[in-house]
Amino acid sequence: MPESRNELYARLFSESRAALCRYVRRFIGSGETAQEIVQEAFLRTYEQGDVVKTPRAFLFSTARNLASNEHRHRRIAKTDTMGDFDDLCVVPPCGSLEESALADERTRLIQDAVDRLPPQCRAAFTLRVFHGCSYKEIGTRLGISTKTVEKHIARGLHDTHVYMKRRYMDVEKGHG
């Protein structure tokens, strides 16, 4: 009895996941991002179904392309993020020195919070929050599904909120 499609992909996953994660991590340098890329590559391979003649080759090729996209978007996000924060907290020229210092500190804290996000999450979050891109546009630019974009945005919002809250609490307690 021939192997079902689900059995084929379950076997492909169990036999290839570890090697594929190592392969992608060489391009990206992040284990967490590598796992996200591998998951997305498996999903895309599975979605292609019977069209794919050699699922393993397609899987590795898809993962390589996603890793390449991630690497490129990581570089873009770094420069985009820095430019975005320059315009975020504009202090009027007549503002006091204290207002200017507070605005600089707020900008630095936001920058620190966003910089702590995983690369793909940071890229999606930056595109949404600072560029106003739709989830679909972000998915297209980053080469990921809309559902994955939603997860990245939710994580970005949560993690930056937690970071900011923790930093402000540290300041109030005299630790910051």
- What is the value of pTM for the model shown? 0.43
Q: Is the pLDDT of residue 87 over 50?
A: no
Higher pLDDT, 6 or 170: 6
Check: CB of residue 61 under 8 Å from CB of residue 20.
no
Q: How confident is the model at residue 42 (pLDDT cuts 50, 70, 90)?
A: confident
pLDDT cut 90: percent of the chain above it: 8
H/E stretch holding 32 reads helix 31-48
Provide DSSP, 35-83: HHHHHHHHHHHHHHGGG-S-HHHHHHHHHHHHHHHHHHHHHHHHHHHHH
Question: With 80 as the cut, is the pLDDT of residue 11 above it?
Answer: yes
Q: Report residue 65's pLDDT band, with 50, 70 and 90 as the boundaries.
A: confident
SS3 17: helix
Least confident interval from 53-57, 71-75, 130-134: 71-75
Per the structure, the complete domain to which residue 141 belongs is given by 5-173
The total of structural domains in the chain comes to 1
Q: Does residue 17 carry a pLDDT above 80?
A: yes
Q: Does position 155 have pLDDT exceeding 90, yes or no?
A: yes
pLDDT confidence of residue 89:
45
Query: Tell me, what CATH number does 33's domain have?
Result: 1.10.10.10
How many helices (H) and strands (E) are present in the chain, helices listed first?
Answer: 7, 0
The Cα 17–Cα 9 span in angstroms is: 11
Q: What percent of the chain has pLDDT over 70?
A: 80
pLDDT, averaged across the chain: 78
Indicate whether 81 pLDDT > 70: no
Residue 7 has pLDDT above 80, yes or no: yes
**pLDDT exceeds 90 at position 16:** no
